Amino acid sequence: MEHSGQPITMLFVCLADAKLAQSEIEKNITELWNLASALGNATVVDIILQKGVPQRPLYIGPGKAREVADYINNHKVDVIVVDGALTPNQKFNLTKMYWDTNPKIEVWDRMDLILSIFSRHARTTEAKLQIEMARMRHMGPSIYGMGMILSRQAGGIGTRGLGETNTELMKRHWKREMKRVTEDLGKLKGIRERQIEHRRNAGLSTVSLVGYTNAGKTSLFNALTHKKNLVENALFATLDSAVGEIYMPELGKSIIISDTIGFIKDLPPELIEAFTSTLLESISADVVLHVIDASDPDIFGKIDIVEDILHQLGIPEEKVFLVFNKIDAIPELNREKVITRTVPYPHVFLSTVTREGMDELLAAILPRFKK
Ligand SMILES: Nc1nc2c(ncn2[C@@H]2O[C@H](COP(=O)(O)OP(=O)(O)OP(=O)(O)O)[C@@H](O)[C@H]2O)c(=O)[nH]1
Ligand SMILES: [Mg+2]
């Protein structure tokens, strides 16, 4: 799974519902492409598309699976990325099918790709543990999944068939590891909870930044706090929550602001679960700023996705403020239309580049802290 830095060639295998419009299909492929580029060392050599719905043993149909086999027979491919969620069995069956052509081939689904990006970007112990947890959940104690991964780690072809005992052993190992990671994360979550409690007791108000990945959350965080956290035109540049302060002269004190991981379409539930400790900052905030890339052609689709996740996290609507960022990049934006589509939330339009709208944002959230 870890290709640490070496170039990886990827083949995308996408399944699209026959009812899906061409523009939707293209949007999905573009997002998968953006995810792959967030890895930093992946090249997508081709896309094999099938129209239809997932099938049981191989996810794609048997004919399509053979087409993929032909492809990898004739081209160098390190990783086959299936744009969807594979069951451990489907992943095993597909991998087995391509093993003979390329014993090193790996089959990933969308979650594996996201996890690889996360691993690449994780810096803190907490982020690393969260990813480990998500990865273990994703693999599950599944007999085939574990058997496959471990036998391959053990050295490939000769050790393919794992016996019953080994599988049982692996299951126990999975449970033990899961327990360890859960406990370690629990401790870190406890520390975070105490910090949040402490701030609350000290009468400090908090604002959190949430939004689709690449919307400009960290840019806004930096602009408000005068910090220099990593801003990147890549998905998931931020994986941890960073906390800073903004001095509010009108209040005669500072408020706390937190930046966190970005959201994405079909965010796997395993990830939300695993990242709850990072997301605690957002959940507990007094004001939640939903940062939006106003220049994104799919602005409303992304707003809906983020709102959905905020809802899942139990963040009340009254706390949410919409921040339409990057207005410098889209001077022709029809603000009226945008607002009509996004009532009843209060909103501001701004640019972290020109700083237009920044004062307006602070003025708009100020009344929330006076009470
Ligand atoms: N034109 C323009 N670009 C911006 C603006 N704000 C941010 N960007 C760019 O948008 C990209 C993403 O910015 P980030 O601040 O890293 O976005 P993020 O929401 O923190 O992204 P993740 O942490 O990856 O989820 C970067 O290339 C920024 O330079 C803005 O106001 N105008
Ligand atoms: Mg960020």
Per residue in 227-276, pLDDT tens? 888 888 888 888 888 899 999 999 999 999 999 999 988 777 778 888 88
pTM of the model: 0.86
* Domain match, 106 and 146 both: no
* Domain match, 51 and 163 both: no
Does 1 reside within a domain? no
Check residue 143 and give its pLDDT. 46
Question: The tokens of 312 are what?
Answer: 């899942």
- Using the 3D structure, point to which of 120, 138, 161 is the last residue of a domain: 120
* Domain match, 51 and 143 both: no
Does 27 reside within a domain? yes
Gap from CA of 323 to ligand 2 centroid (Å): 15
* Domain match, 266 and 284 both: yes
* Domain match, 97 and 217 both: no
What is the spatial distance between Cα 38 and Cα 237, in angstroms, rounded to a whole number? 8
Check residue 157 and give its pLDDT. 42
- Domain with residue 257: its CATH number is 3.40.50.300
* Domain match, 357 and 279 both: yes
Contacts of 314 (CB under 8 A, 6+ apart): 283
What is the spatial distance between Cα 292 and Cα 290, in angstroms, rounded to a whole number? 6
Does 36 reside within a domain? yes
Residue nearest to atom 10 of ligand 1 (CA): 216
- Where are the strands (E) in the chain, listed by range? 8-16, 42-51, 79-82, 106-109, 206-211, 242-248, 253-259, 287-293, 320-325, 347-349
Domain residues for the domain of 143 are 122-202
Nearest to 137 by CA among 278, 309, 274: 274
Nearest listed ligand to the Cα of residue 219: 1
Residues in the chain predicted with pLDDT less than 70, given as ranges, are 1-4, 142-167, 370-371
- Using the 3D structure, point to which of 75, 95, 120 is the last residue of a domain: 120
Gap from CA of 117 to ligand 2 centroid (Å): 14
Residue nearest to atom 14 of ligand 1 (CA): 216
Residues with CB under 5 A from ligand 2 (ion): 217-218, 237-238
State how many domains the chain has.
3
Give the end-to-end CA distance of the chain in Å, rounded to a whole number: 51
Atom of ligand 1 nearest to the CA of 354: 31
- Residue that the structure tokens 């095993």 belong to: 92
Check residue 159 and give its pLDDT. 45
Residue nearest to atom 27 of ligand 1 (CA): 233
Atom of ligand 1 nearest to the CA of 236: 24
Question: The tokens of 290 are what?
Answer: 């939903």
Nearest to 228 by CA among 254, 205, 259, 198: 259
Nearest listed ligand to the Cα of residue 214: 1
Does 2 reside within a domain? no
Mutate to test the pocket of ligand 1, among 34, 212, 214 (most ligand atoms within 8 A of CB): 214
* Domain match, 145 and 159 both: yes
Phi/psi at 255 (nearest 5 deg)? Answer: -115, 155
* Domain match, 105 and 230 both: no
Check residue 142 and give its pLDDT. 61
